[in-house]
Chains A and B, each alone.
Chain A
């Protein structure tokens, strides 16, 4: 991890819960993570692990029933302590959000270039309309959207192009951090590869930090520098992407990687059981009921993340320090 500049994103001991009719569900339970400038970190996990909730909580876009505890620092500033207007401003200027279905965030009644003009002028009121349009065309051009189509409406574009427009919209003000939640899940594999290569180029050209939240381990392996694996609301393993994929330390990561089906798969493998109900999580390590290496201590105490070797951390009693 680069240690010169302060991390662009620093999340400290975050807990996020929802009030449901059946009780309080803690979807994220004590997560600490940092992203350095220009670093791409993948946050992976299966459904119910809390990764999407974490992403939303970081930028403060939880629905009403949610509550958040913990500290979030973006660009060195305490994000959670900022007033709402300031947070909104930062969301446009310093943080870009890319979500799964771009159509829900694009106004179908506004032309594409007007989306840009509005965003730009909302954050930089001294920019003229023409100047803003020029910036819009530049950003869209970088995404491969020709100038002849900048005046079209969002529904006139295909899914992949809309996602590009969303990305362009997000980065037009040169944010320092991009948070992408399942940005390519709804897209076909070729378009997905195109979008990922765009994200990589952007990361390199503009030195942006990227938090990539997804269930797709393949794209994390190809795009990210570090990876954090989440299970039942906690991070169970985190480290350099090459280390974690080559030698996963946590039994869940091991099981997950083994269960992936890729072109060289010769044998099917799965993890028995199911993730716990977060209304009433099991005592101790939450993966214990399904873990092949379960020991008595696993149901008594909760393991914490500890360094196993060379920057790779795992929360498991198999390793000293947890």
Chain B
């Protein structure tokens, strides 16, 4: 019954795709501005990742070496970022601090997604009182100022890398939950989900193949913003004395100790960890904002605002071509 048009058409196996074409489409259609933002942010982040991985190969001192290192030395060739009051090399502290920051960030984000995502899928799909209850809990957590919440959990759990990551992850679980849940609720009403049910698909299949695959594009954006914030929160925890155990190199803790040094005119112990925090956070945020611009097409239509609606410019509506009502068949 099926007559192939040409031999070559049928023999060729389906092209292997790393990412489905449709996921790449927003990227291709985005303007130069959001793409440059993403590249810039990715570049900055990549520097930190590189530094974190290759720290021992880049610099001879580790973040906890103190022997034969002068105290409070100003930046010089031997110690480009100077040294601290307890003879740590600041450059090494910054490099190894990057390693810790990225470890904690990845761990906390992983925990947040592992908990927030399934809960969001479940609540969004099931609805009813289960949904309402979870939303209530998540909204309450969300209402808490992030850093405060992290402090409370960190104080409860104690110090250490894993505990710090867990404390930070709690702040972000509601974020993933909300976005996924809301997206699920809207996708749930789509006709193709109805169609899936009409075919006889089981709820698990529907949630996975039909709903999840259509909400997954919201994750990268939250992920980047989450990552940026995790770095910041970790620094905040460290600054206030929570988080990881000293002497593990951590920018926030270093910053906190460096405050004392400022009175004596020592600026390098505070500046460099501070800059590290700012740059890494900025890099991650840029990636997040850029992705958001690309994935969320509404934002692309900047400038379509109108003041009075009457008798003036009509809103966007159909774009390149015709009314959305009718389609044409070749």
Contacts and interface: CB of A to CB of B under 8 A. Distances in A.
Contacts of A91: 311-312
Interface stretch (B14-22, B214-222, B313-321): B313-321
B307 to A, nearest CB: 11
B263 interface: no
Nearest to B329: A274
Interface string A94-112: 0001011000111100000
A61 B314 contact: yes
Contact of B310 (A20, A52, A64, A169): A169
Contact of A48 (B303, B309, B316, B328): B328
A297 B312 CA distance: 45
A118 B308 contact: yes
Contact of B313 (A61, A106, A119, A169): A61
Interface string B294-309: 0000000101100011
B325 A47 contact: yes
A317 to B, nearest CB: 24
A166 B327 CA distance: 27
A319 B316 CA distance: 40
A20 B310 CA distance: 29
User: Looking at chain A, what size class is its interface with the partner chain?
Assistant: 35 or more
B310 A115 contact: yes
Interface string B6-45: 0000000000000000000000110000000000000000
Interface string A31-61: 0000000000000001111111100100001
B322 interface: yes
Contact of B309 (A56, A63, A106): A106
B329 A63 contact: no
A48 B322 contact: yes
A159 interface: no
B326 interface: yes
Given A20-B320, A21-B29, A48-B321, A92 B326 contact: no
A21 B30 CA distance: 8
A139 interface: no
Given A21-B28, A27-B321, A53-B322, A99 B314 contact: yes
Interface in A181-239: 181-182, 185, 215
Nearest to A21: B29
Contacts of A181: 323
Interface in A80-99: 88, 91-92, 97, 99
A61 B328 CA distance: 25
A105 B314 contact: yes
B313 A100 contact: no
A256 to B, nearest CB: 13
Given A52-B323, A53-B322, A105-B314, A46 B328 contact: yes
Contacts of A106: 309
A65 B326 CA distance: 22
Nearest to A100: B323
B323 A47 contact: yes
A79 interface: no
B312 A88 contact: yes
Contacts of B200: none
A122 interface: yes
A275 interface: yes
B265 interface: no
B121 to A, nearest CB: 32
B330 interface: yes
A25 interface: yes
Contacts of B317: 99, 104
18 contacts: A18-B320, A18-B321, A20-B320, A25-B320, A47-B321, A48-B328, A50-B322, A51-B322, A88-B311, A92-B311, A97-B311, A105-B309, A105-B310, A106-B309, A107-B309, A107-B310, A119-B310, A122-B310
Given A18-B319, A61-B313, 16 more contacts: A20-B320, A25-B321, A27-B321, A47-B325, A48-B328, A51-B322, A64-B304, A88-B311, A97-B311, A99-B317, A105-B310, A105-B315, A119-B310, A181-B323, A185-B325, A215-B326
